[in-house]
Amino acid sequence: MSRLRAYRENLDFYRGTQWLEPRRRRERRLTFNYAKAIVEKTASYVVSGYSALVDPVDGSPAELERARRAIDEALAGKEVALVSGGDPGVYGMAGPVLEVLREQGMTLDLEIVPGVSAFNACAARLGAPLMNDFAVISLSDLLTPWPVIARRLEMAAQADLVIVLYNPSSSKRLPRLQEAHQLLLRYRPPHTWVGIVRNAFRQAETVVITRLENLMEQTIDMHSTVIVGNSTTVTHQGYLVTPRGYPSPQGQT
Q: What is the CATH number of the domain that holds 79?
A: 3.40.1010.10
When divided into structural domains, the chain yields a total of: 2
Domain assignment present for 252 = no
Among 67, 96, 112, where does a domain finish? Answer: 112
Please check whether residues 166 and 136 belong to one and the same domain.
Answer: yes
pLDDT at residue 238 greater than cutoff 80: yes
Of residues 2 and 195, more confidence is placed in 195
Please check whether residues 127 and 98 belong to one and the same domain.
Answer: no
Q: What is the CATH number of the domain that holds 209?
A: 3.30.950.10
Domain assignment present for 251 = no
pTM for this entry: 0.78
Q: pLDDT tens-digit profile of 98-118?
A: 999 999 898 888 888 888 899
pLDDT at residue 161 greater than cutoff 60: yes
Among 66, 96, 112, where does a domain finish? Answer: 112
Q: pLDDT tens-digit profile of 84-98?
A: 678 888 888 888 889
What's the pLDDT at 181?
A: 97
> Partners of 45 in the beta sheet?
80
Please check whether residues 107 and 130 belong to one and the same domain.
Answer: no
Among 78, 112, 146, where does a domain finish? Answer: 112
Please check whether residues 148 and 192 belong to one and the same domain.
Answer: yes
User: Could you tell me the residue range of the domain that residue 59 belongs to?
Assistant: 3-112
What's the pLDDT at 41?
A: 53
Please check whether residues 220 and 175 belong to one and the same domain.
Answer: yes
Domain assignment present for 25 = yes
Query: How confident is the model over 242-251, as a mean pLDDT?
Result: 77
